[in-house]
Chains A and B, each alone.
Chain A
Amino acid sequence: MTTANPAALWPLIVMGAAPVVIMLVVAFYRHHGVTAVLTLISFVLAFTTLPGVSSLTSREIAPLLLLDDYALFYMGLLFAASFVVAALSYSYLERHEGNREEFYILLLLATLGSAVLVASSHFASFFLGLEILSVSLYCLIAYPRRDPYGIEGGIKYLVLAGVSTAFLLFGMALIYAELGTMELGRMILLQTMAGDAHRLMLLTGLAMIIVGIGFKLAVVPFHLWTPDVYEGAPAPVTAFVATVSKGSMFALLVRYFTQVDLHLYRSLFLVFGLIAIASMFVGNLLALLQTNVKRVLAYSSIAHLGYLLVAFLAGGASVVTAITFYLTAYFITTLTAFGIITVLSSRARDADALEDYRGLFWRHPWLAGIFTAALLSLAGIPLTAGFIGKFYILAAGIESALWLPVIILVVNSAIGLFYYLRIVIALYTYPPPEAEVSRVAPSLSLAGSLVLAALTLLLVWLGVYPAPLIHAIQTTIASLL
C-alpha cells in the first residue's frame, strides 16, 4: 500500500486527459478534421510516454495497477491499434451523417479502459477497466443511429455484457470470500488451496469469472453476440472490438492464469480444453455457411481465439511469447482486413457482402492485393505474419505434448482455408458486367492509405523476418517469468 509512483501513470493520464480536452474543444469548435487529428496526437503522445515509464524502477500503483514491461508492451500494441482504427475512421465518418466528433471521444475512452485492463493487478481495477471499455463500446457499436442493425448489435452487446459482468462480479466475490484478497497477483494462492474443502467455492468462483472473460473473448459457448455485433457495428468499430477489446482481455487472462498451474485443477484444464476445441470447430464450421464477409470474419475470430487457447493450455515459459506474437500478428492482420472493408464501405451500408468483392482485383488491384495478404495471413500461409504465429502456437502445443488439440487445430485450419480461399478467389474472378453500375468508388484518405500500406508491409515483414519482434517480446516479458 505504500509504493505509488505517479510518474508511472503517465500513459493513463494522457489517455484520460485526451477525451476531456477533446470534449472541451468540441464544445467550442466542432470540426471533424481537428478532432481526428487531436485524437491521433493523443495516441502518439500516450505511446511516447511508454519508454519513459519503462525506465522507472518502481512502477506499481499498489494495489490497483502494475505497469511492468508486459503491461507496457500491450499498452503500446493497444495504442497503435487504436491509432489505426482512428485513422481509418476518418474517411468512414466523413460519409456519415450526424455528429462525428463524439466517436473519437468514445474511442479514446474505450482505449483507456483496455489500457487499464492490461495494467490491472486487482479485481477493482480489472472491473473498472472492463466497464470503461464496455460502456464505450455499447455506444460505438450503435453509433450510426439510423441503422437498425447497428442498434440491434448495440442492444445485444449491452444485454449480454451486462449479464456476463454480473457473473464476473459474483465470481470475484466468491473468490474474495475464500482467499481474502482481491489482488490478482495473489491468485497464485489458488494453487496451494487446490486440494482443500474450499474447492467447490473456488471452482464456482473461477467458473463464473471464466464466463465473464469468455464473453469478452467471444469463445464458444459465449460467442452468440459476435456475428451480429460484427455485422451491425460500423467497420472500424468492428476492427476495434476484434483487436483491442479481445486482445486486452486475453493479455490479462494469460498474465494471471499462467501463474496458476492449470494441471492442478483437472476440471479447469478440461473446461479450457473444451472451450478451445469447441471454439475452433464452431467458429470454422459456421464460417463456412456465411456469405457476409463481416460475419465470416466474426466466426473466424472465434476460431482464432480457440487457437490461442490451445497455446494457453500448453502453459510454460515459451507460451507467453507465443501468445504475444500471435496476438500481435492477429492485430495487424485483422486491422488490415477491416481496414479494407472500411475503405470500401459506402454511405448507404458497409461493404460486407461477398458480391461487393467479386472482381475487386480488376478495379483496385492494390486493395485486392492487400486484402489477399490479410486473408492468407488469417489462414496462416507462409510469407505472412499469421504463418509464424500459427507455427509458434503449434510449437507450443507440441512442446507440451498436447497432441489432440494440436491435431484438431490442424484439421480446423484446413476447414478455415476453405472459406478464406472462397473470398480470395472472388477477388480475382471477373465481375458480372451489370454489377459495375452499382459500385461505389472506395474512399481512400491519405491517412487511410498510409496506414493500410504500413500494415501490409508489417504483415509481410513479420512473415519473412520475425526475429526482431520475437526478440522484443522475449525481452519485455522476461519480467513476467
Chain B
Amino acid sequence: MTGENLLGFIVVLFTALGIAFFSLKRIRAQFPAYIRKIPPIGRLKRAIGLSVEDGSRVHLSLGSPGLSEPAGTSALVGLSTLHRVGQLSSTSDQPPVCTSGDGNFTLLSRDVLRGVAVETNTYDSFDPDQGWLTGITPFSYALGAMEVIKDPIVKTNILIGTFGTEAVLLSTTAEQRESFTLAASHSLVGQAVFMATSRDVLLGEELYALPAYLNYRPAHLASLRVQDVLRYIIGAVLVAGTLMRALGIL
C-alpha cells in the first residue's frame, strides 16, 4: 500500500465515520448545524410550492453524466433532489418529470419516481414515462429537454447534474418561458454558462448541499459538516505547505 493509497483510505474512512457521527440524533440535537442561507434554494422551495398550488409540473434534468465517471455524483445528487421534490410535490396534480442524457440515470430516475409514488400513495397515477432519455449526445439531450421545458405545464425547472455548453439552450429556453430555473453543474464550463444565462445558480459545492437544504435526510447535513471539516484541513495543509515552500523547508 503506497502512501497515496493510505492517505486516500484514511480520508475515505474519516469521511464515512464523520457522516455516521454527525448523523446521530444526539449529536444533531446537541450540536445543531448552522448553515448559511442560499437564496436560490429558498426561491426553489417557493417555486415548488407554487407549482403544487397552481397544478403545474416540476421538471428536473440530470444532464449527460456517466455513472462510472466522477461527474456522475452530481447526477446522484440530482436523484436525491428528485426524490425530495417528488415528496414535496406529491399533492400536486402533476408529478415531476425527469430527463437525462444517460441510460443509467434514466432507469434510476424512473426507480426514484416509482418509489416516490409508492411512498405517497399515488401509484395509481404513476407513469413510467415521467423519467426518460432525451438524447445520447449532449446536444441531442439538450434538444429533447428543451421540448420538455417548452411544455406549458412546466413552470419550474431544476437543472442539476453534468452540463456543458449545451446548457445555454436549456437555460435560455427556460428564461424565454419565464419559468423558474435553478441551475447547478458539476463542470466549470456548465457553471460559467449558467452564471451568464440563468438567475438562480449554484456554484461549486453548493450543488452537493441542495438535498441538505431541502431537509431530505440527516446524512446530507452530516456530510456537509464533514466537507467543512475536510475543507479546513485542506486549507490548513495548503497554507502550511506554501509557507514551508516559501521558507525553503520543502
Verify that A and B bind, or say they do not. Answer: no
Task: Please report B residues at the A interface, Cβ cutoff 8 Å.
Answer: none
**Chain A residues near B (Cβ < 8 Å):** none
